[in-house]
C-alpha cells in the first residue's frame, strides 16, 4: 500500500530551513567539510522548494484561495445549492453540467444513491439526458442487481419512485 505523504506547509518549511541554518552555523565552526557541503546543498534545495511553494501560494491567493494556519483552503471553487447550480448551468448553456442534447453515462450505483436521496425520475433523467426508455432499462438493471422478485416501481407520469425502492 502506498504511503500518504504529509502535506508540507509554509510553517513546516520555515522550521526546516531554520534547523538547516542552525546546523550550518555549527558545521562552519568544525573542520568536517563534507558535512558542511551537504548541509549547504540541502539548504539551497530547501530555499528553492520554499520559493516554488511561495509562488504557488501567490497564485492561489490570486485565485481567491485562503491560507489558514499555513494550509491552502479553497481553490476558487464555487459552492451552490441545487437550484443555484441549475440556474448557473442554464446561464452557461449547460444542463446539470452536460451540453443540451448530450447523454451522459448513468450507472445503477448512482441511480440507487439518488433514489435514496429522494430524487425523482425527472430529476435523474434531466441530469443525464435520458429518455423514458433509457430510465426504464436502468431501473430494470438495478432491480436485477439487487435480486428483487419484482422490479422497482416508478411512474414517470407522476414523477415518483416507490418508497420501498
Report the predicted TM-score, pTM, of the whole model to 2 decimal places: 0.50
Percent of the chain with pLDDT over 70: 70
Residue 138: pLDDT above 90?
yes
Q: Which three cell numbers mark 18?
A: 531554520
* 88 is a domain residue: no
Average pLDDT over residues 114-119: 89
Are residues 67 and 109 both part of a single domain?
A: no
Q: Is residue 4 part of a domain?
A: no
Q: Quick check: is 63 in a domain?
A: yes
1-5, 86-90, 120-124 — which one is most confidently predicted on average? 120-124
**In the chain, what is the greatest distance between 2 CA atoms, to the nearest angstrom?**
87
Q: 108 and 151, same structural domain? A: yes
Average pLDDT, the chain: 78
Q: Which range of residues forms the domain containing residue 133?
A: 99-161
**In this structure, is residue 86 part of a structural domain?**
no
Please give the pLDDT value at position 1: 44
Read off the pLDDT of each residue in 147-165 and give the average, rounded to a whole number: 83
* Number of domains into which the chain is organized: 2
Q: Where are the alpha helices (DSSP H) in the chain?
A: 10-28, 33-62, 82-91, 108-116, 121-128, 132-145
Q: How far apart are CA 143 and CA 134, in angstroms?
A: 14
Residue 85, domain member (yes or no): no
Regarding whether 106 and 62 lie in a shared domain, the answer is no
In a domain, residue 93? The reply is no
Amino acid at each position: 500500500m502506498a504511503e500518504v505523504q504529509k502535506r508540507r506547509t509554509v510553517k513546516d518549511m520555515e522550521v526546516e530551513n531554520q534547523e538547516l541554518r542552525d546546523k550550518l552555523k555549527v558545521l562552519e565552526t568544525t573542520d568536517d567539510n563534507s558535512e558542511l557541503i551537504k548541509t549547504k546543498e540541502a539548504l539551497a534545495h530547501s530555499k528553492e522548494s520554499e520559493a516554488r511553494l511561495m509562488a504557488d501560494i501567490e497564485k492561489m491567493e490570486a485565485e481567491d484561495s485562503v491560507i489558514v494556519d499555513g494550509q491552502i483552503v479553497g481553490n476558487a471553487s464555487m459552492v451552490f445549492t441545487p437550484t443555484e447550480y441549475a440556474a448557473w448551468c442554464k446561464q452557461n448553456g449547460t444542463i446539470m453540467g452536460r451540453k443540451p442534447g448530450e447523454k451522459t453515462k448513468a450507472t445503477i450505483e448512482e441511480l440507487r444513491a439518488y433514489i435514496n436521496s429522494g430524487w425523482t425520475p425527472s430529476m435523474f433523467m434531466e441530469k443525464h439526458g435520458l429518455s423514458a426508455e433509457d430510465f426504464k432499462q436502468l431501473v430494470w438493471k438495478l432491480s436485477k442487481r439487487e435480486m428483487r422478485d419484482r422490479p422497482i416501481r416508478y411512474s414517470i407520469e407522476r414523477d415518483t419512485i416507490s418508497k420501498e425502492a
